Structure 1
């Protein structure tokens, strides 16, 4: 037994990471309460953070009357939660690096217009958080639509990286130089084969640790880890450590596990390590087309959507079961980074909007037959006004959503941030 920190419950299961952490840890039955509190405070940091964390509000808007006025695009796999933070550099199993969609929890076969609106809302709130004038938001939407449409004018598999704005190029250069040490320092605070319990990681129950160990021992997991470049196809793997991962807003109340795995190659050589993210898959809140044929298993849905939308990531994922729950597993690679936009200037805003929309457009276009691409392109060209070179339905949606989200953000701050200060 390890002694508990002052004011904290004792943890009776041995965990090697306890000795490395100076933070308090959380018992399993406390997870949901603490996660909800931290999510609410994180969403109170800015209107942009609120938009990223309030996906349900967006889906509720889509269910409202305005949804009927949106164009119906071809049925393709869409992200379902296409905000700026869900795009970034993603490495393939063979080492190729591209900007792709990096979060696929909400992926469904649905209307590609929904991804456009969600991305436009995210960019608009980022612009307002940067104190940019409203006309910049209008120009940014014009540039975003132009970038999206460009994916349907050219071959969908053609590279878009040549038009990447400076912040994206710098991020790609950083990603290309990263190694396992960078990932380990960020995620597990060093290269020792333990996961430190504390702010990011909490202890698992005995039965949870046992189930993770059994899953790591399966052939499907061995093949997934061995598929990454420069590894021996016949490599074996063993579990070094595992913990519950306090990560993101979408994991609340669901199973999320970090597994540190030793990869054993040639005899006599020290093992190499990798970090696996095991996440429970739940039903998507994003609206899907009624006639869409998708896997009924949610983990299989996420993996299948990933293969279509973000091939680098989708082909590195595995749908399986853990503790009788549907989960998808992926190895975190050092090159996988999130695109963070804290502030934009007027010149960057239009360039960034054009580039990100091109990435999303190519993810949609590669799934469409040539005739569907042409029809969707023609549809996007409609309903333009003399004063705005973007579809009127997109502009009206963004104006309505920005207004409702800013009001909801202020109310969120009143309810949660002020309560936390009082406490």
Structure 2
């Protein structure tokens, strides 16, 4: 029997054999953890004695990336301390591993910063708010995600030049929001937790500022209406595709979008037949019926994000007939940045790891989610490209809106963690007062200072020529 299957079977058997405990009993067990890992121990940030060089660790994270794209990755990270933070998940994972941990594990995002949350359409065409980037997902202590999210709020607030008092207030509010939502999930029925979702069209936050919530609701409604009008045939297709001799072809915009050669993409000569067949097998039977209506017309490499730059990411154009396109994003999945510290994945294919994590953490997932392995031995996962995907523009936020957005992210993270972790134990550990909130806030503010120091070291390395960075126009 495959080792991964055996381990999963053992986990299921253990879960089935575990005696029933009430939420109150599990909460009490969570409170006992404070004796060995006090909530106050989650506060602050102390530089490890033998911390690795920032640039060395970032260069190590480039292993396996396309060399020609690495300068673009570093160029994007050089834009600001906030951009640097987005691309430095591997650095923070190493740092979090040196901090005290509760031992309460969940399916973690692994890179839970503000820009990895957003809105997207469900298969039923509702628009929900959730975590939308899970490339680094892996089981890990729940507080690692929360600390990374809280630190991103502080760094975003500094990017917006908000007063320190506002920064502390909204970061504490995020931690409190996570804690309060986890308490709610602790006493909800299991199916109610699983079915819960943040519906952007019905969004409300009774604990938020009423004026800010109403303003946010109006902006969300306007954005949803705009996105609904951006159909794939009428909006995305003209932007990405040109007609050459009557045949659709994805537009080249080097170095961001380009067609690979056979050396870069060994499956090119066969039209990626083997990889597509392997991907098709990971789809549910009813989705295969839909997928089989489409045929691959073109595929190009497409550089995305900050942390993903340099990995083998592409976009495939599939057509069912004229004016009936489907764009699938093909993203390389490497080992999670958490793996050296939280343990190896159960899955032999990292694309499957990502998809499994998405299905656990997201309240709804793309019907075309699947995975494959290329002839170049790279692992990939597949999903639709920009299916009404909406992300926040940090620079467009003020203190009130950043606070509200942070609360939405905290809610989404608590819901995602409650689906896989023991919400009652986590809630019991955090408690009902502000001790845990204050600890997370203190960590986040102190780690933001570390991020600035690391950013300065990074910029210094670029200026000294140790690493190359290309800033795009």
Q: TM-score, normalised by structure 2?
A: 0.70
2:71 is aligned to 37
1:354 is aligned to 407
2:11 is aligned to none
1:312-352 CA distance string (max 9 Å, x none): 33653102122133211112143123333124322223222
Name the SS of the counterpart of 1:118 in structure 2.
helix
Q: 1:285, CA displacement in angstroms?
A: 1.2
Please, which of 250, 253, 257 is the counterpart of residue 195 of structure 1? 250
Higher mean C-alpha displacement, 408-417 vs 124-133: 408-417
Matched, 1:48 2:82: yes
Q: TM-score, normalised by structure 1?
A: 0.78
2:153 is aligned to 123
Please, which of 354, 370, 375 is the counterpart of residue 318 of structure 1? 370
Q: 1:311, CA displacement in angstroms?
A: 4.2
CA contact (8 A) 1:109 1:292 kept: no
Q: 1:150, CA displacement in angstroms?
A: 3.5
Matched, 1:395 2:441: yes
Change (3 A) 1:297 1:34: closer
Distance 2:401 2:243 in 1: 35
1:75-130 CA distance string (max 9 Å, x none): 22111001111111122233232111111110001112111111111111110111
Note the 1:45-194 alignment, pairs <5 A: 45-64=79-98, 67-68=99-100, 70-73=101-104, 75-152=105-182, 153-154=184-185, 155=188, 156=193, 157-160=195-198, 161=200, 162-163=203-204, 165=213, 166=216, 167-180=219-232, 181-188=234-241, 193-194=248-249
Change (3 A) 1:223 1:321: closer
Gaps of 5+ in 2: 1-64, 206-212
Matched, 1:309 2:361: yes
Distance 1:316 1:83 in 2: 25
Matched, 1:277 2:314: no
Change (3 A) 1:391 1:224: same
Change (3 A) 1:46 1:215: same
1:247-277 CA distance string (max 9 Å, x none): 234445532222111124xxxxx35111111
Distance 2:221 2:122 in 1: 18
Q: 1:182, CA displacement in angstroms?
A: 2.4
Q: Tell me the number of residue pairs that the alignment of Structure 1 and Structure 2 aligns.
A: 375
CA contact (8 A) 1:303 1:318 kept: yes
2:269 is aligned to 210
Name the SS of the counterpart of 2:331 in structure 1.
strand
Distance 2:428 2:228 in 1: 38
2:45 is aligned to none
1:238 is aligned to 295
Distance 2:343 2:292 in 1: 43
Q: 1:240, CA displacement in angstroms?
A: 1.1
CA contact (8 A) 2:303 2:310 kept: no
1:229-257 CA distance string (max 9 Å, x none): xx974853222111122223444553222
User: Greater helix share, 1 or 2?
Assistant: 2
CA contact (8 A) 2:345 2:353 kept: no
1:341 is aligned to 394
CA contact (8 A) 1:277 1:332 kept: yes
Note the 1:361-380 alignment, pairs <5 A: 361-368=414-421, 372-380=422-430
CA contact (8 A) 1:319 1:326 kept: yes
Gaps of 5+ in 1: 1-30, 265-269
Matched, 1:257 2:307: no
Note the 1:15-30 alignment, pairs <5 A: none
CA contact (8 A) 1:309 1:364 kept: yes
Distance 1:422 1:88 in 2: 28
